[in-house]
Amino acid sequence: MNMKRVIIVGTMIVTMSFAGTAWGRSAISPIPLTKWSIVNIDTKDESEDELLSALNQHSEDDLVQDLYAGKSLRMIADENAGDFNEVVALQIRQLKEQLDQRLASGSISAEQHAVQSSELEELVTESANTAYSFA
């Protein structure tokens, strides 16, 4: 095969794959999304209020500032007389719903669903007790 043709076809494929994913979306989001939050931007997510309530936080901005300062969810709950067990239960419930949706859509197998479901409590509890540094 002609090397020039390989380069041209390869460039076209790469260009089309990148362009196809970029159409219809801005590369810059006007709303900053955090890696620990999965929020539907188009509608107010009630789980957001549940988390703030469980942590006894006044606003999402306060929560983001505390997390950015390197506090764990346990530290935030303890400092604000929040309910840490409810924070963990809420996160487990949300992740379980996501796993159920992935199983229903066929993106994971029943075995993967079972293994991941069995690990949820340990992973969420460990994560909620861990303080991350963003500095």
* Among the listed residues 85, 80, 92, the one whose alpha carbon sits nearest the alpha carbon of residue 55: 80
Half-sphere exposure of 27 (CA within 13 A, CB side): 4
In the three-class reduction of DSSP (H, G, I as helix; E, B as strand; rest coil), residue 62 is classed as helix
Q: Would you place residue 131 in the very low, low, confident or very high pLDDT band (cuts 50, 70, 90)?
A: confident
Tell me: the pLDDT tens digits for 71-128?
999 999 999 999 999 999 999 999 999 999 999 999 999 999 999 999 999 999 999 9
Contacts of 77 (CB under 8 A, 6+ apart): 54, 55, 56, 83, 84, 87
Digit-coded pLDDT (tens) for 4-44: 666 666 666 655 555 544 444 444 444 444 444 444 444 44
Asked if 57 and 82 touch (Cβ cutoff 8 Å), the reply is yes
CA-nearest of 116, 119, 52, 58 to 86 is: 52
* pTM listed for this prediction: 0.62
Contact 72, 128 (CB under 8 A): yes
